[in-house]
Amino acid sequence: MPMNENAINGAYNLLLSNPVRFLRTWPLRLAGGASNCQLNFELYDNKKHGQRPGTVFGYKAMKDTDVLRVDVKGGSAVKDVIKKEFTAHNLPMQALSDTLTFTELGENGKTLMLTSQLNGCAIVIKQGSGDKVLIAHVQPHSVSINDDASSKLTEILKSRYEDAQVYGNGKGNQCYDRDRDYCAVVGVRNAQGQWRVYSQEYGNGNNVIHRVVQLWPAFSEV
């Protein structure tokens, strides 16, 4: 049965208070908007099943779990489920260009940042003034995103933005594998006014959580 109102509200509150635990509990499908602004979103049970790491033995003992989804309000085709409405920063996707447009995350506005799921795109994050963070979601030039265009995008962005954290498709610990995973990227401002950005890597065909990583302020597996 789909999650009831208390369960969905509890999941939303956990996302705000303990995003790592949230991302290790439910595979999260994300669909963002096209504008750089604050948007109304809906969190709900996607009526699908996946797997999460166990609380004791982690990825060595996977457990069954529900799959959650976030859509821009009104964009969901799933019926007969309880939806938690909330407002968050929307990070739009943009094509690779000589000058990227960065979204500023600061001490004002909403405490959540969401963007459409990654499967070939890259995230660039750099320090702004004070506790502000600048972030961009970048798509390769190619209309058809393939492995070559996607991995080259990561390399290009790393060479252009040496002072930034670049997370994209490729080889190495600080990359994801688009052949295996989708990525749900979420930003949360904590009680001290500092932003933390995370990525959940989950199977693009089976909704199995493979890894949760912190992208900002420093890369680490969590």
- pLDDT tens digits, 52-65: 999 999 999 999 99
**Residue 148: Cβ-neighbour burial (10 angstroms; 0-12, 13-18, 19+):** exposed
Domain boundary assignment for the chain: 5-221
Count of beta carbons in the 10 Å neighbourhood of residue 79: 6
The predicted pLDDT at position 142 comes to 56
The mean of the pLDDT values for the chain is 93
Residue 166 φ then ψ, to 5°:
-115, 130
Upstream peptide bond of 92 is cis (omega within 30 degrees of 0): no
**Non-local CB neighbours of 172 within 8 Å, separated by 6+ positions:** none
- What digits encode the pLDDT tens for the residues 115-174? 999 999 999 999 999 889 999 999 986 544 555 678 899 999 999 999 999 999 998 999
How far, in whole angstroms, is CA 174 from its chain's centroid? Answer: 15
Q: Percent of the chain, pLDDT > 90? A: 82
Q: Percent of the chain, pLDDT > 70? A: 96
CA-wise closest residue to 114 among 174, 70, 67? 70
**Non-local CB neighbours of 52 within 8 Å, separated by 6+ positions:** 24, 25, 26, 27, 62, 63, 65, 209
pTM reported for the whole predicted model: 0.94
- What digits encode the pLDDT tens for the residues 96-118? 988 999 999 998 889 999 999 99
When pLDDT is cut at 50, 70 and 90, the band that residue 13 belongs to is: very high
